[in-house]
Structure 1
């Protein structure tokens, strides 16, 4: 990845198009699960979403292999897409971007209060 791709995000666009092409080859129930899974993983991403790219690649690979093996989508995801997404993002109850921002805001406020002597 070169500087221009980093600035413009063209590398991410290219990767997302590749994900979309791979997902289109999945059966309909798997495609629906893929869309739902990507939506539920987005809050765990950083500003650009670069940290989720390897996670999404692995998840899509799992869906592709499971579809090829003829497994039902509920057998693969366990019927709990929220829990599956949280487990993929790190661990159960992994902080999303709101929690990260809340912690950062609290640290900044505490630092300011310490500077002013209150």
Structure 2
């Protein structure tokens, strides 16, 4: 990856397009599950989002293998996709970017107030 791609995010754009091309080959219920997983996982990203690329690749690989084996998506992921994503991102209650920013803001305000 060159410097320009890293700065502009072109590398991630290419990778996400490749993920979407792989998702289009999956059955409809798996595509719907991927969409929900994608929605829930992005709240656990760092500033750039690069930390999620290996996780997304692994989840997509899991979905591809399960679909090839003929399993139902509920058998693989369960009924709680949000909980599945939380477990993927770390322990239950993993901090989202909003939590991290809130904590940083609170720390900065406390420093300014001299506490």
Q: TM-score, normalised by structure 1?
A: 0.94
- Could you tell me how far 1:47 is from its partner in structure 2? 2.2
Name the Cα RMSD after superposition.
Answer: 1.0
Distance 2:111 2:2 in 1: 37
What are the ranges of 5 or more consecutive residues in structure 1 without an aligned counterpart?
Answer: none
Give distance in 1, aligned partners of 2:108 and 2:92. 27
Unmatched segments (≥5 aa) in structure 2: none
Runs of 4+ in 1 over 4 A off after TM superposition: none
Q: Tell me how far apart the structure 2 counterparts of residues 102 and 10 of structure 1 sit (CA, whole Å).
A: 29
Report the equivalent of 2:87: 87
Question: How far is 1:48 from its partner?
Answer: 2.0
How far apart, CA to CA, are the structure 2 residues paired with 1:112 and 1:59? 43
How many residues align? The count is 115
Q: Secondary structure at the match of 1:14?
A: helix
TM-score, length basis structure 2: 0.96
2:99: which partner in 1?
Answer: 99
Which residue of the partner structure matches residue 63 of structure 1? 63
- The residue that corresponds to 2:10 in the other structure is 10
Q: Quote the Cα distance in structure 2 between the aligned partners of 1:111 and 1:3.
A: 35
| 2:39 maps to 1:39 | yes
